[in-house]
Amino acid sequence: MTTGEQATTLDLMPRAVRDKLDRVRIKLHLKEWQALTLAERLRLRDLPCESDADAQRYAAEVDALSLRVSGNPAERMRDS
């Protein structure tokens, strides 16, 4: 698979999504990411996560998707 194909299918989690997940202190494993549909991956990539309200909506969206694919809400990062 070429880099362009990976960008189209989003098989690997884009940096923008990883940054948003860090902001909301959620771990989403690659296996969970790859269980999402392309539309869901695109949605997580494109959803805003700038304001506190955006971050709350983003976390809720990730929780709902995680619940669908794994049966559990998303894993939270521990404070260091």
Please give the C-alpha separations between residue 41 and each of 15, 21, 31, 36, 45, in angstroms, as whole numbers: 12, 13, 13, 6, 6
Domain ranges of the chain: 13-74
pTM: 0.86
The pLDDT value recorded for residue 79 is 75
- At 35-47, the pLDDT tens digits run 999 999 999 999 9
Coarse DSSP helix, strand, coil percentages of the chain, rounded to the nearest 5 percent:
60, 5, 30
**Bridge partners, 76 (sequence order):** 26
The pLDDT value recorded for residue 78 is 86
Give residues with Cβ within 8 angstroms of 11, minimum separation 6: 1, 34
- At 37-80, the pLDDT tens digits run 999 999 999 999 999 999 999 999 999 999 999 999 899 998 76
The pLDDT value recorded for residue 4 is 55
Residues across the chain: 80
